[in-house]
Structure 1
Amino acid sequence: MPRKIRLLLRLAASGMFPLAAFLCGSPTTTLDLDRGDYVTFTARTAPGVPRELQLAGPQHEHIRTFAWEGGPKTFGFVAEASGTYTLGFAAPEPPAELAVGAIVPPAQQPTPDRCAVDLQSPRLQALRDAVEAGNATAEAAFWQAVAQQGAPLIEPKDEAHVWVTFLWHGDAQTRSVFLNWPVFSPRKEDNLFQQLPGTNVWYYTAEMPRGLRMTYKLAPNAPFGPGSTRQELRRAILAVTQADPLNPHRWPSAAALDRFEAHSCIDLTGAAPMWEQTDVPAGKLQTHWFESQLLGNRRDITLYTPAQAPEGGPEMPLLIVFDADRYLEQIPGPAILDHLIAEGQIPPTIAVFVSNPTSQSRSEELPANPVFAESLATELLPWLEHYCTFTDDPQQRVLAGASYGGLAASSVAFFQPAAFGAVLSQSGSYWWAPEGAEGPAGAESEPAWLNRQFAASDHRLIRFYLEAGTLETASDIRPTNRALRDILHAKGYDVTYREFAGGHDDYAWQFGFAQGLVALLGEAATAAD
């Protein structure tokens, strides 16, 4: 079977045989691959039911896990050694299909064009000079030092910035290395490594602010080229994106995560304190199904009830958090609430973590959708009253989220200020417009649609905590957050604004989430005392 699969797929890749899909009725599929082969495949499962696929290598070793929310999903991977690979569903039920697309050998994979850049790193300048001078041991000594000290290289530039140099130890097979990090670049080739001539040193140097906190991954030999579509580009990068093998610091730190799941992290001197989980009373988490007639769908709602719920006192504040997975997994939202409540920084608070039924529904509901806002105000709030008691004061009802979730927090409060009067927005996507955010002035496609709505509307009784990263300029995150801050100040809103040294990154948002809660609910804790 493996050789038949391989023959069909190679014919399909060469265009000699029009293979649309190879359907596998069994829960596992084997593929006979050569080193460097790029494989794409589509898994088809019931929508809304999270599934996992496991990839094992020629020695039956676990290589990586592919996880998704259910429904059809296309993935890719690159064989790192020749041999037989096995793809299998982690659970045989419910029924699923695996459709293998094509195998593309290294000779047929495009190589992206790199842009020449100046060599900024002093240590790499010294290595270059030593190699050019004929020092035959210079590179080996360099890699030995990196193995002892770790990567990336951190070198001073000025009082406010450092040079950060990411490294990859290449070999004769290395064609390219791509930096996958939370910093937007208009051109993907701007994130490609350079090769130091005469060596196996591949590098990418960037000027970074002191106090930086950031995660990143590296993608060696990502099979994309100048003609790749956006979807092909993303799939090719994710096929090989992995933690930096030269950096021992990973996030999340769970040992069970493989190198494709974990991120490498950077914490420079002066970075905001990282969240530390301490031994405090833990709140209770319960997950329920919530069905919306207005939206025509249903979703998971995770309800957090604090351990220190008051008896006979004032009704508790309410926190509604978008993108539940983000704030339950990457950002430890419940643990942060436990800690802030135990220390008296915020009062005991009811929290509701709202999931997205699908990725498509997320892109439709979170960006300034008045029907979504109406559903929260007229369907979710009454539904919650069956499970818990919370305040009817809109000023103590906080909407929170990051990226599209930050945009949702502000837009829901804009549409429903009588229900929600506080916003915690982390790197909110205020560049968004209904028709694409790339159009002319005055059109529905003009960027920063919600900013213009606030500017043109009467004052609403809403308090804001806004934050954005100093590395979120090219994506228009920081400029549009600053613009919203200025509009809100001019309109007389209560606004707390913060910028952090980082990018569009869950790792950096952990501290801001706690800080935003204290900014919006801290006075209530003082009043309760």
Structure 2
Amino acid sequence: MTRLPNTDIWFKESIIDHRYIGSYSFAVDLPNLEGYLSNYCPHLNPKLKESRTQRRAVIQMQRIDPFNEKTYLASDDTSGLRNENFLALKDAPPFIDPKQYPNVHQPQLQEFVLDSKILNNSRKIQIYQSKAKKNQSYITAIFFDGQQYNELLNVPKALDILVEQGQLPAIQAIFVSPPNDQERPKELTPNIKFSAFFSAELMPWIQKNAPAKVDSKKTVLLGSSLGGLSSAYLALDNPNQISHVVPLSGSFWWQNAPTDLPNGMSKIIRDKTSQPKQHWFITANSYESSRNNNELSILETSPIVAADLKNKGHDVHYKSYIGGHSYAVWQVALQDALKHFFAQK
């Protein structure tokens, strides 16, 4: 926010497209790390550089807006997940919001712990299964950052409603969580070790423990941000196990080396030899431009990645939403993606 001169009043004003959907919170009394906040409204000064540590301090100090009752979680929630206020303007895209269906039963999930010998760690996995008609095969949807999608957005209930309304066929969802916040960026940045875990441990575990048979022609890998980057990388590494891929706001600014141009994922795609055709639904949002004002932003790189995949013969649908880097948009996009792939005709 910006301070009115000679007052203790701070404000922020934005002109927003009426299709906007997103989330927000307030950061109050931020710690002044490395002197950045000693400057008057430092975010207005392009010469000042905000460190990652200073930016992440926002997460520790955030508060929800007491005048907006629309939040992801209850105000007294103790899950430790990042609660925010929700905002959808009048022409925001439609989606199934579980909160609007209070009389629909909350589905029960199975919960497991998967121990990895390759990564030498453990992670929580939760599994949802919808009802199915007789002899109907299941879609299998695998979510990275699974706890967020399960508990923050209540995706299981949304899927239940979509199946009950006939908008989707039977589906089982596998919610895969990282061991902790520190391991997440290490695992979800493209690397050989996590790919080995995915192919040699996670997928065989899913095939063994999923309640319905896993159909390799109806298996979707979904993730957002770094999870979107990793979904793209792992899908290309495992084309015979993953048929559909949904990178939501994928971190395609990533480069393994400065020479990886125009971005790291494009280099990986362009270096690939012929492989089975996959179906992709790629998204980036209008406010996902670079903080450094360069071309390596989610908004800049996502259509390049989509074009590279098309050039390799994949079926690719690219969509940009009016919003930011937020689960508010991703809950819409994931439903759009699944309906785009599998909607009942």
TM-score normalised to the size of structure 2?
0.83
* Alignment check: 8 A CA contact 2:72 2:153 kept: no
> Which residue, 241, 252, 256 being the options, matches 2:72?
252
The alpha carbon displacement at 1:350 in A equals 1.6
The whole-number CA distance in structure 2 between the counterparts of 1:358 and 1:239 is: 16
Which residue in the other structure is 1:421 paired with? 243
Which residue in the other structure is 2:45 paired with? none
Which residue in the other structure is 2:44 paired with? none
Which residue in the other structure is 2:2 paired with? 193
Spell out the pairing of 1:339-488 with structure 2 (5 A cutoff): 339-388=161-210, 390-391=212-213, 393-435=215-257, 439=258, 443=259, 448-457=263-272, 458-474=274-290, 476-488=297-309
Spell out the pairing of 1:94-113 with structure 2 (5 A cutoff): none
* Alignment check: 8 A CA contact 1:243 1:250 kept: no
* More strand as a share of residues: 1
Q: Describe the SS at the equivalent of 2:204.
A: helix
Which residue in the other structure is 1:176 paired with? none
The whole-number CA distance in structure 1 between the counterparts of 2:195 and 2:84 is: 34
Judged with a 3 Å threshold, the aligned counterparts in structure 2 of structure 1 residues 447 and 331 are, in CA distance, closer, same or farther, namely farther
Judged with a 3 Å threshold, the aligned counterparts in structure 2 of structure 1 residues 194 and 447 are, in CA distance, closer, same or farther, namely farther
The alpha carbon displacement at 1:198 in A equals 5.6
* Alignment check: 8 A CA contact 1:394 1:419 kept: yes
Which residue in the other structure is 1:301 paired with? 125
The alpha carbon displacement at 1:401 in A equals 0.9
Where structure 2 has 5 or more consecutive residues not aligned to the other structure, the ranges are 37-49, 292-296
Question: Which is higher, the Rg of structure 1 or of structure 2?
Answer: 1
Counterpart residue identity of residue 193, structure 1: T
Q: Describe the SS at the equivalent of 2:25.
A: strand
The whole-number CA distance in structure 2 between the counterparts of 1:231 and 1:486 is: 31
Judged with a 3 Å threshold, the aligned counterparts in structure 2 of structure 1 residues 201 and 282 are, in CA distance, closer, same or farther, namely closer
Judged with a 3 Å threshold, the aligned counterparts in structure 2 of structure 1 residues 392 and 506 are, in CA distance, closer, same or farther, namely closer
Judged with a 3 Å threshold, the aligned counterparts in structure 2 of structure 1 residues 377 and 478 are, in CA distance, closer, same or farther, namely same
The alpha carbon displacement at 1:287 in A equals 0.6
The whole-number CA distance in structure 1 between the counterparts of 2:195 and 2:8 is: 54
Judged with a 3 Å threshold, the aligned counterparts in structure 2 of structure 1 residues 303 and 261 are, in CA distance, closer, same or farther, namely closer
Q: Describe the SS at the equivalent of 2:230.
A: helix
The alpha carbon displacement at 1:497 in A equals 1.5
Spell out the pairing of 1:121-136 with structure 2 (5 A cutoff): none
Q: Describe the SS at the equivalent of 1:272.
A: coil
> 4+ runs of 1 displaced by more than 6 Å?
none
Which residue in the other structure is 2:90 paired with? 269
Which residue in the other structure is 1:243 paired with? 64
The whole-number CA distance in structure 2 between the counterparts of 1:427 and 1:231 is: 20
The whole-number CA distance in structure 2 between the counterparts of 1:198 and 1:507 is: 36
1:188-210 deviation line (CA, Å, top 9, x unaligned)? xxxx4131x46553212233322
* Alignment check: 8 A CA contact 2:285 2:299 kept: yes
The whole-number CA distance in structure 1 between the counterparts of 2:115 and 2:182 is: 17
The whole-number CA distance in structure 1 between the counterparts of 2:173 and 2:239 is: 19
* Alignment check: 8 A CA contact 2:109 2:126 kept: yes
1:152-189 deviation line (CA, Å, top 9, x unaligned)? xxxxxxxxxxxxxxxxxxxxxxxxxxxxxxxxxxxxxx
The alpha carbon displacement at 1:397 in A equals 0.5
The alpha carbon displacement at 1:520 in A equals 2.1
Judged with a 3 Å threshold, the aligned counterparts in structure 2 of structure 1 residues 337 and 417 are, in CA distance, closer, same or farther, namely same
The whole-number CA distance in structure 2 between the counterparts of 1:239 and 1:423 is: 33
Q: Describe the SS at the equivalent of 1:514.
A: helix
* Alignment check: 8 A CA contact 2:216 2:241 kept: yes
Judged with a 3 Å threshold, the aligned counterparts in structure 2 of structure 1 residues 281 and 520 are, in CA distance, closer, same or farther, namely farther
The whole-number CA distance in structure 1 between the counterparts of 2:56 and 2:306 is: 36
The alpha carbon displacement at 1:392 in A equals 5.1
The whole-number CA distance in structure 2 between the counterparts of 1:364 and 1:356 is: 10
The alpha carbon displacement at 1:355 in A equals 0.9
TM-score normalised to the size of structure 1?
0.56
The whole-number CA distance in structure 2 between the counterparts of 1:430 and 1:472 is: 11
Where structure 1 has 5 or more consecutive residues not aligned to the other structure, the ranges are 1-191
Q: Describe the SS at the equivalent of 1:418.
A: coil
The whole-number CA distance in structure 2 between the counterparts of 1:296 and 1:331 is: 30
Judged with a 3 Å threshold, the aligned counterparts in structure 2 of structure 1 residues 367 and 310 are, in CA distance, closer, same or farther, namely farther
Which residue in the other structure is 2:26 paired with? 218
1:67-94 deviation line (CA, Å, top 9, x unaligned)? xxxxxxxxxxxxxxxxxxxxxxxxxxxx
The whole-number CA distance in structure 2 between the counterparts of 1:238 and 1:284 is: 30
Counterpart residue identity of residue 285, structure 2: G
The alpha carbon displacement at 1:230 in A equals 3.0
The whole-number CA distance in structure 2 between the counterparts of 1:285 and 1:514 is: 19
The whole-number CA distance in structure 2 between the counterparts of 1:232 and 1:403 is: 19
Counterpart residue identity of residue 467, structure 1: T
Q: Describe the SS at the equivalent of 2:242.
A: coil
Which structure would you say has the larger RCO, counting Cα contacts within 8 Å and 6 or more residues apart? 2
The whole-number CA distance in structure 1 between the counterparts of 2:167 and 2:60 is: 43
- Give the number of equivalent residue pairs: 321
The alpha carbon displacement at 1:273 in A equals 2.4
Counterpart residue identity of residue 465, structure 1: F
Q: Describe the SS at the equivalent of 1:290.
A: strand
* Alignment check: 8 A CA contact 2:140 2:215 kept: no
